[in-house]
Structure 1
């Protein structure tokens, strides 16, 4: 029995020593904090939107007469000059109309000459009381009718010449052919609307982004604001531009209202092609300063700073934030450790 008591005393002593050691070790353990270093940088508030790359100036070229395409001199991506011949229509029908108008003019001129001679003769007879007043009036009427017929014939001849000139399709600007919509042998009809032969972009080094901005963000967008954007064709590369136009006409898609914002996009290397999808960021405001994590900030604009092994609570003056970081205008220095948790 003495042995059992001794054994129990020894066990109790071991447990007491273990508890004491655990307490001492726990008491000496340092409290760990999750911190983040305050850094100097720039913060921006942006509006994001999606749009498409388009040429600043794009022109559709066609003709005002019907006919059959006889020749095409340019194709996709062709560089053209103002006044350059792009295509021709078959001129057989148009030339025949010109010939007919020329013949009509000759007949009208002959008829007018005859009416003038008759008018002069009847006028002399009427003055000598040898012709009736009715004959005189008929001579005057024939002369006037012949003059009107000649005027109409001249107009028809002029229109036939203009129509023949429309058989030659010229470029109205210097640019690049983006699209060719016709083929040789194709019949085009210009009865109700002008058929489009080519779409020409004036200058591919000057592009623009047509972006749809949500109505909730539009109030923050102003002219000349800086814009950055990316396209899928060049991952990791960022392009720059400025807001040049805010269109007041709304777009409504599935009850969502957006407005078109035009962004000038210089394209000196011609990397940007028409139709590319662009993800844009419009820089609304920017501010440089000391950036601290916004989650470390209390409602009273205070945060805790770990400095020289001590914890200090400071009240700071804040600037803009992006939901993750906030600018500390006063109260924190670069490199200090900000306690998050």
Structure 2
């Protein structure tokens, strides 16, 4: 027998048992049949927006290379803790060392040419005082000196550029943090012709993280900065973590033809239980009331047979709900004014008092092997 047939048979049996109990007790004139009830009490009620997102470090830095070459050494690995300025990798510097040597030699040659031009200029100055040379020769000597000075500056800058390229072969950490990704191995060639290749990803700190959650456009109007949020991750399903909304971004994102808005939630990770990239199920608390009179939602949609349902109350609140209070073995209908609801509990503003017992539906209890079994009508069983 298939599961579907079993479910249909159980549903028919429960309905038949309910019908029998209602008719039996009404015809025999005895007390009310067993009822499934809920009691009015006190507790917290909150309205929440559900969203999904991922955990990311507060600051994530991508470390690349501005020069091309072969990775000669790597000094850190995944999860290594690094400090700002610490050497984390080395690219083979031999080519750049040769360029530095060549630039140094060219600078020395230019400086020698400058010395020669200065000596000639001094000699021309002496001959000009004695009027032994023409003005054109003076101008030529002056121009040669300026060219020699400019050539020295060009060669000096070329040496500085070559030295800077050599320094870039030593990859240093730009910040204090932890290595969360290593993209290269020793011996690998990196090419920086068009864009800087990624070597490492560093997280500044994992003690504090951010959730990048996607909130649908239908709910984003209720989400504000400063609101409290709770969330769960698959790695710790038995624990609820807390955070705080710090930013609601205005840039829309289209996902499956639905507009979402990225909402940033700050999270304390001092216990180091959360890791970058974890997916989260977030509940943003948009409104919350503590220690208010409340009742389970099932009591607001009680299902009773017509012969047991009492007459509607004489006075009813506008947009109120009708509940059935158990009083001295009888059911009495009351109109209640409701407030905030969280899908499980609803705040009761007026109409009943704490401790009142409200009927939800019929319940048949039979003892079998010492266990009680209750049958509830309709959708009551889910609660």
> What TM-score do the two structures reach when normalised by structure 1?
0.87
CA distance in 2, matches of 1:86, 1:244: 34
Q: Give the deviation of 1:140 after TM superposition.
A: 1.2
Equivalent residue number for residue 245 of structure 1: 247
Gaps spanning 5+ residues in structure 2: where? 1-22, 301-315, 362-383
Gaps spanning 5+ residues in structure 1: where? 1-21
Alignment equivalent of 2:119, drawn from 117, 122, 129: 117
CA distance in 1, matches of 2:42, 2:217: 34
Q: Give the deviation of 1:312 after TM superposition.
A: 3.5
CA distance in 1, matches of 2:173, 2:343: 53
Equivalent residue number for residue 294 of structure 2: 291
Q: Give the deviation of 1:229 after TM superposition.
A: 0.5
Equivalent residue number for residue 162 of structure 1: 164
- CA distance 1:24–1:331, shift in 2 (3 Å): closer
Instruction: For 1:22-171, list aligned pairs within 5 A.
Output: 26-32=27-33, 33-171=35-173
The CA deviation string for residues 217-270 of structure 1, in whole angstroms up to 9 with x for no partner, is 111111111111011111221111001111121111332211111111111121
Instruction: Indicate whether 1:339 and 2:342 are aligned.
Output: no
SS at structure 1 position matched to 2:218: helix
- CA distance 1:81–1:137, shift in 2 (3 Å): same
Tell me the matched-pair count.
320
The CA deviation string for residues 122-163 of structure 1, in whole angstroms up to 9 with x for no partner, is 233233322122211111111111111111111111112211
Alignment equivalent of 1:300, drawn from 320, 328, 351: 320
Equivalent residue number for residue 309 of structure 1: 329
CA distance in 1, matches of 2:133, 2:268: 83
User: In angstroms, what is the RMSD of aligned CA positions?
Assistant: 2.2
Q: Give the deviation of 1:25 after TM superposition.
A: 9.1
CA distance in 1, matches of 2:230, 2:29: 53
CA distance in 1, matches of 2:142, 2:207: 67
Q: Give the deviation of 1:302 after TM superposition.
A: 4.1
SS at structure 1 position matched to 2:109: helix
After the TM superposition, list the runs of 4 or more consecutive aligned residues in structure 1 that deviate by more than 6 angstroms: 22-25
Once the two structures are overlaid, the 10-residue window that deviates more, 23-32 or 323-332, is 23-32
- CA distance 1:254–1:317, shift in 2 (3 Å): closer
The CA deviation string for residues 198-226 of structure 1, in whole angstroms up to 9 with x for no partner, is 11111112111111111111111111111
> What TM-score do the two structures reach when normalised by structure 2?
0.78
CA distance in 1, matches of 2:71, 2:210: 34
CA distance in 2, matches of 1:24, 1:294: 27
CA contact (8 A) 2:114 2:145 kept: yes
CA contact (8 A) 1:290 1:332 kept: no
CA contact (8 A) 2:324 2:359 kept: yes
SS at structure 2 position matched to 1:286: strand
CA distance in 1, matches of 2:207, 2:71: 32
CA distance in 2, matches of 1:283, 1:193: 44
Q: Give the deviation of 1:60 after TM superposition.
A: 1.0
Equivalent residue number for residue 260 of structure 1: 262
